[in-house]
Amino acid sequence: MMARSWEPWHSARAMRCISCGHVHGLREVIYRCGACGDLLDVLYPRPAEAGASLAATFRHRQSSDRLVDRSGVWRFRELLPFYDDESQIVTYPEGNTPLLDAPRSSQYAGLRRLRFKHLGFNPTGSFKDYGMVAGVTQARILGMRAVACASTGNTSASLAAYAARAGLAAIVLVPETGVSFAKLSQSLDYGALTIMVRGDFDQAQNLLRRLAPRLGIYILNSVNPFRLEGQKTVMFELLEQLGWRAPDRIVVPGGNLGNSSSFGKALRELEDLGLLSKRPRITIVQARGAAPLSEAYESGHSERLVTVHANTLATAIKIGAPVSWKKAARAVDWSDGWVTSVTEQEIADAKAMIGRDGIGCEPASATTLAALRRLAAEGTDEQVDPDENVVAILTGNVLKDPDYTVRYHQSSLYEEYRSETRMIDHGPALASAFANPPVVVDATEAALAEAIETRLHMR
Ligand SMILES: Cc1ncc(COP(=O)(O)O)c(C=O)c1O
Ligand SMILES: [Zn+2]
């Protein structure tokens, strides 16, 4: 694909369309360009501080006792200044995730040096917290009464937690089947209205997009550009951990493609600020059964996306119509990166190998190691040199999907299976005084609207 021109700054804070360049106000409740319908970037004037001086400002905050300084997101706030006043900032705090050596995994991939940046070390156990903290901050600034998302499980866990911390009503839509119990348990416990839609993620996302404006709720899927502002800080943290010496390649799983999009924006900004020694090749990995962007690249037509009906046991990335694909493609092209896909078997084995390093991750994250092994050994669609300095991004904690892990190790993981959690009735039941049961609805606007309106009127 031709590299699109990509100006990282704007004369004033605003949202700007990635296609037609139309500029929108920072406080408009919109997710897409009003002129052409494409995705929006949040932009700012170039910060006054740059280079070593800006790096020193970030570094000094690590020894501060203030939560906004300790947060792995807000420590970098010169690069996401969409708030007016620090009192508006929501924080858990989040981020500050480790960069881990992984000798067994490096050997498995045939690479001299592979390290994992493990975003599963976040308050709700996945990378989503980096972006959700920014999205919920914007929701609060906008005075929204409720926030909502469609989710494969991790976004809903994160949204539920951050909305609870910020005192906002939370509504999450998950597919009725396929979401892990661990993730479902989080959104229930954090008090979100948890709606199980009789459909898949892509349907849930579409329903929410149509319904949200009517119900006055703020969408915090990664189509929301403020989420991506928070997720940029994964790159700021990583580069700081590496002494601002960029790796040759950054490998990241791809689902809705928000992460890869935000990494590209972050690196583009760092380059302009003199904090990027070279462009690491952004390499996105999808599951073979949910690989629309990978298919576009392999066919040589990365300017067009053909959506697919997604199918993979890596449920976090079971997404057939990724919203942020154009931003992800922009990042890949700018960095001379690549998009590939891996099989269920490759994912399962790679996940076990990451476990052997004492690290562990959820299945979606293991796509990274699976791809590296194939690309370094076989160089099929892209050649990875064994001497490359590679960082792979692990997106979710191993405890997010225990069923998958136990089944693998018991040799009972099937490409198609339904899991049922059985509980044996035993003795007297406890009273569930604070129960927050999931609500199951048909994949229609009417059913969904009724479920949401009932809850919002109860508050
Ligand atoms: C664990 C995990 N990895 C990867 C992804 C995909 O990230 P993105 O949608 O930003 O491509 C998700 C998204 O839900 C996820 O939960
Ligand atoms: Zn536009």
Token pair belonging to 157: 């866990």
Beta strands in 44-192 (DSSP E): 99-101, 113-118, 146-150, 169-175
> Which bound ligand lies closest to the C-alpha atom of 227?
1
Strands 169-175 and 193-198: parallel
Name the class of domain 99-122+228-409: alpha beta
| pLDDT tens track, the chain, 459 positions | 444 568 999 999 999 999 999 999 999 999 999 999 999 999 999 999 999 999 999 999 999 999 999 999 999 999 999 999 999 999 999 999 999 999 999 999 999 999 999 999 999 999 999 999 999 999 999 999 999 999 989 999 999 999 999 999 999 999 998 889 999 999 999 999 999 999 999 899 999 999 999 999 999 999 999 999 999 999 999 999 999 999 999 999 999 999 999 999 999 999 999 999 999 999 999 999 999 999 999 999 999 999 999 999 999 999 999 999 999 999 999 999 999 999 999 999 999 999 999 999 999 999 999 999 999 988 889 999 999 999 999 999 999 999 999 999 999 999 876 655 566 667 788 898 999 999 999 999 999 999 999 999 877
> Which bound ligand lies closest to the C-alpha atom of 34?
2
Q: Is 214 exposed, middle or buried (0-12, 13-18, 19+ CB in 10 A)?
A: exposed
Within 8 A by CB and 6+ apart from 341, the residues are 285, 286, 287, 288, 291, 294, 295, 371
Report which residue type is found at 236: F
Cα first-last separation, the chain: 49
Q: Which residue has the tokens 């992800």?
A: 328
Ligand 1 centroid to Cα of residue 48, in Å, is: 33
> Residue with the nearest Cα to atom 12 of ligand 1?
316
Neighbours of 264 (CB within 10 A): 27
Ligand 1 centroid to Cα of residue 154, in Å, is: 8
Token pair belonging to 101: 């050596």
328 Cα nearest atom in ligand 1? 11
> Which bound ligand lies closest to the C-alpha atom of 287?
1
Token pair belonging to 88: 């508006």
Neighbours of 395 (CB within 10 A): 28
Q: Is the pTM of the predicted complex or chain greater than 0.75?
A: yes
Taking CB atoms and a 6 Å cutoff, what residues make up the pocket around ligand 1?
Answer: 126, 152, 154-155, 222, 253-259, 316-317, 362, 364-365, 395-396
Q: Which of 119, 122, 127, 361 to mutate to test the pocket of ligand 1 (most atoms within 8 A of CB)?
A: 127
Token pair belonging to 15: 């949202």
The residue count of the chain comes to: 459
Sign of CA dihedral 301, 305, 310, 312: positive
